[in-house]
Structure 1
Amino acid sequence: MMYPFSNSSKRHILLATMVLVMMGFTASRVVHADEKGVTAEQMQNWREADFGMFIHWGAYSYLGGAWEGEPVSGYAEHILRSKEIPLAEYKDKVVAKFNPQDFDADEWVRIAKSAGMKYIVITAKHHDGFAMWDSKLTDYDIIDSTSFGRDPMRELRDATKKAGLLFGFYYSHAQDWSHPYGQRNSRDFGYEQPQKRGWYKQPEWAEYVEKSWIYVNEKSIPQMEELIISYDPDIMWFDTHNWLPADMTRVIVERAKELKPDMIINSRGTTGIYDYKSTNDRPEYFQRTDEKYWEAIPTTNDSYGYHAYDKSHKPVAFFVDLLVRAAGRGGNLLMNVGPMGNGEIDPVDVKLLAQIGDWLIPNGESIYGAERTPLAVQGWGDTTVKGNKLYLQVMNWPTSGKLVVGGLESSVKKAYFLTENNAASLDVERLNDMDVVLTVPLKAPDELCTVIVLELDEALVADKTILLNPAVSFNMLHVFEGDLHGKDIKWGSGNIKSNFIQYWPSSDDYIGWPVRANEDGRYLLTAHYTGMGDNPGNVFSVEVAGQSFDATVEKKGKYLLATLGEVIIPAGTHTLTVKAKKQKPDSNLVNLTDISLIPMKQGTE
């Protein structure tokens, strides 16, 4: 079966484009990107945008996550493949019926701005191969295959630019389930296609590697060229580059850079060419990173495309926490919504975005353009810095009326609540050379996250040891804040399925956190972990201040709680470690997420 074209003029354009592309892009000839590239000023503008709207919207949105009355598990935008819908049937029963008459680009931009978002990235083509713009290369697009009669990519691009926001396209360059050589569709073309990442490394697929160049040269590059030339995006957001060999994805990305050297590109396009790093999908927590520019992509529920049956929407507190933690680690948050098939954004998402905006807009000074600090993680929340202002984002409010900033060696000139705009100062005292304490109300002014500004007399100087705080409800030591020791132990990606130590195959490996206490304290010691694979039955040991506590991985399951017992932490500096006590051969010790120290009041049992 050949790639379908019903319009002769488009066929001629395609053939002409193929000739040009084949002249410049073959396996043996790589065109290198313009060396000028993206400027530091552009990247700083992107970084200072901090918060953006990711939009997964296409013909699949019409189905709302179900096929023939049966909901799909996982991502709704993958329904063509996950429900094994024949391509002809998908075109007839899904694409042809997709008619988003309620789409209003200005309203989408208004919703984004009201949430405090400063850039927008939308799916121009996802893995189903359907073009959401007026493509001159195929009739499989929103103009020729639907009755909608409008170009929503053009409308959203214009509305976004008019509002002063950055605009970008998501473009599936490495997968296209509508093309004979676009990977992963063995139903429609009469032969097997690769079904696993890295397929091109297997000898049995050698012939298919050559055929993949047909897809790259015939569709992937030409349609990308259309988007860049006709719409002039600020950002090109690629995805799943490991579904094509690196020499192919490099050709695609370098062509994008050749056409528009100052276009910002994420790290999912090819190996080694990117302007910023993308995290994995659906993050819950962030690894420490030395990347100067990076971005996380959470979504409101567990799907990126609209899923009417997925009611797992996270609360506003989850996203405020994620936004604060991203900013505190020097990253951006590109938060996804999946608009409905009629062109409207789901009212549940609209409400959630408005709630985020209610917090972000008055507290945005602590997020937009603010940078990560050298301070250790704080028991009450996170920190950012901008110039001589240190911002404390307090989510775990101290019950004592005293908020201790651990590791702050710089002198503090003034402290106040950000939303009060310096109207009244908070009392600040220095506890010792490394810590200061603020007198604060017993109740948090903002239950989501209260921001306190510290104006410093000098540049920020910090000690990186984690201070245990007896005045907060808990002190969490997440594994991503710890130091890994050993050659095999590795973190997971931080998403909803791997927010823990992913690999711990050797009993010689361990994790540790430097901690200190300003006074003797009693804490309840707990651990959160996931039981999976062969690790149930393994025993891990938590050691600190000469005390040792053992816990057994009891069963399979996510985010299980182990209560280890009461620990006494003397004043001073310590290292808390987690090591193997008993480990079965060929098993991971434990998929550990965090260790928590919960202050125990005097007289409590």
Structure 2
Amino acid sequence: MENIFRAKLSFIAIVVVAGSILMSSYQCFADEAFDLDAYKKKVKQWQDLKYGLFVCWGPASIGGKGIGWVRNAPRSGNPNPWYPPKENLIDGEVYDNLYKQFNPVDFDADQWMTIAKKAGVKYFMFLTKHHDGFMMWDTKTSDYDIMSTPYGKDICKEIADAAHKHGIKLGWYYSPPDWYDLDCRHPKRHGVYIKRMQEQLRELMTNYGKISMLWTDTDGGNAPWDQDNTFAMIRKLQPGIMVNNRMEYNRIPGWAYGGWYLACQNRLNGKPTRWKDFGDYDASSEGHVGGYNSLPHESVMTMLGHQWVWKPKADLYSGTEGANFLASSLLGNGNFLYNVGPMPSGKINDHHVERLLKTGKWLDKVGEAVYDTTCGPILRGIWGGSTTKGKNVYIFMPDTIVNAWDSDDLYPLTPLDKKLVSITSLTGEKVSAEQNSDGVIEIKMPETTKKREDGQAGYMIMKLTFDEANPQVKEGTTLSQDSMVKQSKIRPGASIAFAGTASMTPGQGWGNYAHHAVDGNAATIAQSTSPVWDLHIDLQKNYSIDKIKILPTPGVWANEYSIKVSTDKENWTTVDTITNANDKPRIIEFDKIDVRYVWMDVTGVGHKGNFGHGIIEFEIYMAK
């Protein structure tokens, strides 16, 4: 394999010789006092955007199997032993030469930005270089770039010009690890690579106008990226830029992101930090949109299911699933970055566009509850979640909760310290409410939610307006919103799983906790670190049930299991045994039976690899 970084040795020699001069001017910047107020201001501006579009695209799109990780060749300096299944690999020599075929004649950056605006996204993230080392801009550091393709034009410039024209905030994805560059992590030549890497970042920060975000990445190896000086250069060239934390992965070898969380919390509290400089927000939650994180963070998902670049016949997430991901990220105090993979020709596939635009139409109706809001005042739970802006609080209540609620029973909302003036539904339902002397708001619920169209999230969204701004949970409140909801009267025929608690054996990890299986949120999953694991649900009291619906995670599912029920956790009745199941939703119906405990006893999975099977929702229906 020819490594064409050697084609510009004269330039690289200049960079190496001048490297200490190039970086010395930034060293003082790294030592300057940190401006906490300026940091909080730029974080708030970024958080107000809420929704970004990620585009992973390049020569790897021609292969149709993935980017970087599917390259079947040695990985420069990376000890990570994981490779995809053999059928998904591309020979390294073939992969490294795909750029010679890359000629995206249908690429139109202006059209991409028009789609992005109609989709309701506020920022645009573009992949400039992945671990495979190919650069999508006109770099002076190597010939392994877009200028060496048949297309021969600087795609990053076209994207930057279009983003600025349309008023969309622009970010670059750039991976410091480089499996193509033989100097990367080389025991003797890594210093040469660092100067080259920093020069590439200087180009990206200098040649394309305002850059609002930098999305760095990790390949799982150690991170010798001269972070203090690298961050200093980036911040000097692009003041106010938001940089994620993935350059911190294994900055302390073997500690993953642990060092960043502690450093970020200390910074926000005005305490000394471990490093002179580091990432501004957490982007480590790839594939996870559940939970809550008080630190600035972003959830990242791809519309293509488990792949980031173009894949023919990919199993795409629906428009509604994309909207659910966005809503769930929002309610967890995070931004949401959603990836599409354009075709090798440069066109974003019509099916991708259709899904984006459907969610855009939903955002046209409910956007006031999304953009420029703050998470809270009532934190998320199985009951749903809330956002606030000025005098308004927006309640996101899952359709599963609304449709399970007995409409004769008033819905109690955690006491707030301001006076309620009005309540409306942004999603079309008829609601009313009164506030008692304790501040508790009792909501008259609709008989049922409006039918959701594709692209609309599965939430009823209510707008509560108060007499003063910034309503907060009343001091002294001890009963959580989830506790109040679980005491409710549930209508016959509805799913009652949310009223229970869930656990898994063995173990759990990755933030995909057991309770995600019963939270009524189709954007979250329950998944263990163990390939085969059991789900246990305690409904807290006996219910008469006659149906269970299981929504497995596409691509990672249990294919052999039994559903067992009990009233005492000692004597179990098997209501069904499933073999050769697929990853599609499954409804299990049986004669009415009284239960408190439900056990999904799993004995086999239908996927390969060491990933645990996943459950999006496990719904338990009360008999009519």
TM-score class normalised by the smaller sequence = 0.7 to 0.9
- Residue identity matched to 2:123: Y
Larger displacement relative to structure 2 (295-304 or 368-377):
368-377
Match of 2:280 among 271, 275, 279: 275
For residues 504-555 of structure 1, what are the alpha-carbon distances to aligned partners after superposition, in whole Å with 9 as ceiling and x for unaligned? Answer: 89x9xx9999x999xx96556969698999x999999999999997889988
Match of 1:342 among 334, 342, 345: 345
Percent of aligned pairs with the same amino acid: 21
Q: Report what 2:274 is aligned to.
A: none
1:318 aligns with 2:317: no
List aligned pairs for 1:211-250, cutoff 5 A: 211-217=189-195, 219-231=196-208, 232-240=210-218, 242-246=220-224, 248=226
For residues 95-124 of structure 1, what are the alpha-carbon distances to aligned partners after superposition, in whole Å with 9 as ceiling and x for unaligned? Answer: 122111221111100100000000000001
Q: Secondary structure at the match of 1:96?
A: helix
List aligned pairs for 1:400-549, cutoff 5 A: 401=407, 405-410=411-416, 412-418=420-426, 426-429=431-434, 436-440=442-446, 442=448, 444=450, 446-447=452-453, 448-449=456-457, 450-457=460-467, 459-461=471-473, 463-466=480-483, 467-468=485-486, 469=488, 470-471=490-491, 473-477=494-498, 489-494=507-512, 499-502=525-528, 522=544
CA distance in 2, matches of 1:149, 1:503: 45
CA distance in 1, matches of 2:307, 2:430: 44
CA distance in 1, matches of 2:247, 2:92: 28
CA distance in 1, matches of 2:420, 2:544: 30
Q: Report what 1:14 is aligned to.
A: 12
**Is the alpha carbon distance of 1:415 and 1:102 closer, same or farther for their aligned partners in structure 2, counting shifts above 3 Å?**
same
CA distance in 2, matches of 1:364, 1:156: 26
TM-score with structure 2 setting the length: 0.71
Q: Report what 2:182 is aligned to.
A: 180
The CA deviation at 1:279 is 3.9
**Is the alpha carbon distance of 1:426 and 1:178 closer, same or farther for their aligned partners in structure 2, counting shifts above 3 Å?**
same
- Residue identity matched to 2:494: S
Q: What are the ranges of 5 or more consecutive residues in structure 2 without an aligned counterpart?
A: 73-87, 250-259, 261-277, 514-521, 602-609
Q: Secondary structure at the match of 1:465?
A: helix
**Is the alpha carbon distance of 1:20 and 1:477 closer, same or farther for their aligned partners in structure 2, counting shifts above 3 Å?**
farther
TM-score with structure 1 setting the length: 0.73
The CA deviation at 1:132 is 0.6
List aligned pairs for 1:370-409, cutoff 5 A: 370-373=373-376, 374-379=378-383, 381-393=384-396, 394-396=398-400, 397-398=402-403, 401=407, 405-409=411-415
- Residue identity matched to 2:245: S
1:327 aligns with 2:330: yes
List aligned pairs for 1:289-308, cutoff 5 A: 289-308=292-311
CA distance in 2, matches of 1:594, 1:114: 29
CA distance in 2, matches of 1:497, 1:159: 32
Q: How many residues align?
A: 533
CA distance in 2, matches of 1:255, 1:527: 53
For residues 359-401 of structure 1, what are the alpha-carbon distances to aligned partners after superposition, in whole Å with 9 as ceiling and x for unaligned? Answer: 112210111122322245355x543222332223343342655
CA contact (8 A) 1:124 1:153 kept: yes
CA contact (8 A) 2:283 2:298 kept: yes
The CA deviation at 1:252 is 4.0
List aligned pairs for 1:141-156, cutoff 5 A: 141-143=145-147, 145-156=148-159
The CA deviation at 1:139 is 1.4
- Residue identity matched to 2:472: L
Q: Secondary structure at the match of 2:220?
A: helix
**Is the alpha carbon distance of 1:182 and 1:594 closer, same or farther for their aligned partners in structure 2, counting shifts above 3 Å?**
same
- Residue identity matched to 1:225: R
For residues 291-325 of structure 1, what are the alpha-carbon distances to aligned partners after superposition, in whole Å with 9 as ceiling and x for unaligned? Answer: 33111111111254443424301111111111111
The CA deviation at 1:3 is 4.7
The CA deviation at 1:51 is 0.6
**Is the alpha carbon distance of 1:43 and 1:563 closer, same or farther for their aligned partners in structure 2, counting shifts above 3 Å?**
farther
Q: Report what 1:119 is aligned to.
A: 123
- Residue identity matched to 2:482: T
**Is the alpha carbon distance of 1:151 and 1:538 closer, same or farther for their aligned partners in structure 2, counting shifts above 3 Å?**
closer
Q: What are the ranges of 5 or more consecutive residues in structure 1 without an aligned counterpart?
A: 66-71, 184-207, 570-575, 581-587
CA distance in 1, matches of 2:104, 2:559: 50
1:56 aligns with 2:92: no
